[in-house]
């Protein structure tokens, strides 16, 4: 007899309580498990979650960085919603172990794990609407992914040092709910400024540094291109 599905544990980890618990269990049900036990799988949710994720990320980019052109926005969005990024987001939530799959979980591929983020997005969207899905993506997707595994602050500092430029200047402020605080950071260098947000000061500054470094590197590449 299988153990009861850990609804409360997952809800605590993802910061959302479901009214319709069936949506949560569907989000965690792989097609192999569904075929073996005759229940719904999460493939349709993956499709819906991908669309919601794309919309939230696009809206977030459009309203936050008014200087970025279409090419810059597309490049950043690809980084935010790629398989590796979503895989890391699922790992950071520590919910991989709750996936219902037939056979050994040790052999579960990265794509299957990464798609779990999209199915959770879809489940929250269906249960609580766009704003709740958006809140989940911003808290556990974007702010974990940008700067998550990289030392963007160090990379930006190294970039400037190699060119004999002044060190970047950071400013950070705290906002949001007392029990769910967020941080907003800005970083300035070479007359350019970029902004970031995160669940900690470090993540906010890393995001800002990542965006500024990307912009400065692109500017440098454009300046070096020979004119036709």
Q: Can you list the domains of the chain with their CATH numbers?
A: 7-145 (1.10.1520.10), 149-223 (3.30.160.20)
DSSP letter, residue 36? H
Instruction: Please state, rounded to an integer, the average pLDDT across all residues of the chain.
Output: 87
- Supply the residues annotated as catalytic: 50, 118
**Cβ contacts of 101-106, under 8 Å, gap ≥ 24:** 101/30, 101/32, 101/33, 102/30, 102/32, 102/33, 102/35, 102/36, 102/37, 103/32
H-helix or E-strand spanning residue 111: helix 110-128
Query: pLDDT tens across 108-166, in order?
Result: 888 999 999 999 999 999 999 999 999 999 888 775 565 444 567 878 988 999 899 99
H-helix or E-strand spanning residue 181: strand 181-189
Q: What tokens appear for 12 in the block? A: 């605590």
Whole-model pTM over 0.75: no
Alpha helix ranges (H) inside 65-95: 70-81, 83-93
């Amino acid at each position: 007899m299988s153990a009861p599905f850990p609804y409360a544990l997952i809800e605590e980890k993802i910061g959302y309580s479901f009214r319709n618990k069936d949506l949560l269990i569907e989000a965690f049900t792989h097609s192999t498990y569904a075929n073996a036990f005759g229940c719904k799988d999460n493939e349709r949710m993956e499709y819906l979650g991908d669309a919601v994720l794309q919309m939230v990320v696009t809206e977030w980019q459009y309203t936050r960085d008014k200087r970025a052109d279409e090419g810059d926005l597309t490049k950043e969005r690809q980084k935010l919603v790629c398989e590796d990024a979503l895989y890391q987001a699922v790992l950071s939530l520590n919910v991989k172990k709750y996936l219902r799959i037939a056979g050994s979980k040790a052999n579960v591929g990265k794509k299957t794990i990464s798609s779990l983020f999209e199915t959770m997005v879809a489940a929250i969207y269906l249960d609580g609407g766009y704003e709740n899905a958006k809140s989940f993506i911003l808290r556990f997707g974007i702010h974990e992914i940008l700067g998550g595994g990289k030392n963007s602050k160090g990379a930006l500092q190294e970039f400037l040092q190699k060119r004999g430029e002044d060190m970047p200047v950071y400013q950070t402020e705290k906002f949001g709910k007392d029990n769910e605080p967020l941080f907003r950071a800005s970083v300035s260098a070479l007359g350019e400024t970029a902004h970031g947000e995160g669940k900690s000061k470090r993540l906010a500054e890393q995001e800002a540094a990542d965006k500024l470094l990307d912009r400065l590197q692109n500017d440098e590449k454009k300046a070096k291109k020979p004119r036709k």
